[in-house]
Amino acid sequence: MTGTDRSLQAGSPGAAPVVVLVQPQLGQNIGAVARAMKNFGLSELRLVDPRDGWPNEHAWASASGADDILGLAEVFATTAEAISDVGRVFATTARERGMTKTIVTPREAAVDLREAMGQGINCAILFGGERAGLGNDDIALADTVLSIPTVPGFASLNLAQAVLLTGYEWLLSGAETPARRLHYGDAAPASKEKLVGFFEHLEAELLEADFLKPPPKVPNMIRNLRNIFQRAHPTDQEVQTLRGVVRALVGRRQRGWPDS
């Protein structure tokens, strides 16, 4: 997929923050988390006291090709053990916990994570179980709270959804893919030389047909016409087609065909 950073694939320790699932319940959800992680370059998964044990065959069934992440997943008895080698921890929660913590969105967290990991600091993101999320003791171990914006009154997110949204912002924060681009496929964008040639061809015929008038308005009319075609970003082939259209219309006029 365009924009994927191959250096962030599974098997590259330290290339991305660790994902820690605290007391996850369903194996299917763990597999869906692994899939979301692989989509966005998160490679290391740690599980804290998974309810149904580990490994769990249901996880592999829903991982959709993220088997490598599941195969390397580590299991820990407590959250403290899971993050013992980590220098910066983000805890995801949608509820106020009565603690003094900096709260950031996934987008802001991604920037902070990039900065910390760029300094060689291992980082982790904690996600709570499906039933109740993270406990207060887990959040107390975190440096920062990560809160995903949702509409008021309905903040509940599936575990894999939360990982996916966070992973998306992580990837986007380091991706070189532009936010907006024009895809030409196999075609090439028309050179300015060819585009100007078409403009001059069209304008000459419009003058001949007495369309561009009165004289004081002609320069502005020409600029407006050129802007119409400039916004379309035509390819070489499209410019040739447009010139063919002009020639066909001129031929019709020269043969004296009626206009309607």
Q: What is the 3-state secondary structure (H, E, C) of 80-105?
A: HHHCCCCCEEEEECCCCCCCCCEEEC
Report CA-CA distances (Å) from 48 to 21, 51, 54, 104, 198: 6, 9, 10, 24, 66
Average pLDDT, stretch 12-36?
Answer: 88
Q: Give residue 260's pLDDT.
A: 52
The structural domains of the chain, with segments of one domain joined by +, span 6-174, 192-254
Number of continuous H segments (helices) and E segments (strands) in the chain: 10, 7
Which residues are 75's β-sheet partners?
47
Q: Give residue 257's pLDDT.
A: 60
> CB–CB of 94/153 below 8 Å?
no
Name the pLDDT band for 177 (thresholds 50, 70, 90).
Answer: low
Q: Per-residue pLDDT tens for 108-152?
A: 999 999 999 988 899 999 999 888 889 999 999 999 999 999 988
Q: Per-residue pLDDT tens for 197-209?
A: 999 999 999 998 8
Q: Is the CATH number 3.40.1280.10 carried by domain 6-174? A: yes
Indicate the Cα dihedral angle 15, 17, 18, 23, nearest 10°. Answer: -160
Decide: residue 39, CB within 10 A, 0-12 exposed, 13-18 middle, 19+ buried: middle
* Tokens 């660790």 found at: 18
Average pLDDT, stretch 175-182?
Answer: 68
pLDDT at position 226 over 70: yes
Q: Give residue 252's pLDDT.
A: 75
Mention every residue, 6+ apart, whose C-beta is less than 8 A from residue 17.
Answer: 42, 90, 113, 117, 123, 124, 125, 170
What is the second-level CATH architecture of the domain 192-254? Answer: Orthogonal Bundle (1.10)
> Mean pLDDT over all residues of the chain?
87
Average pLDDT, stretch 72-78?
Answer: 96
For the whole model, what pTM was predicted? 0.71
* Tokens 């804290």 found at: 48
Q: Which of 158, 111, 98 is nearest to 133 (CA)?
A: 158
Q: Give residue 10's pLDDT.
A: 35
pLDDT at position 190 over 80: yes
Name the pLDDT band for 258 (thresholds 50, 70, 90).
Answer: low
> If residue 48 lies in a helix (H) or strand (E), which one and from where to where?
strand 45-48
* Tokens 């206009």 found at: 259
Q: Give residue 216's pLDDT.
A: 92
Name the pLDDT band for 255 (thresholds 50, 70, 90).
Answer: confident
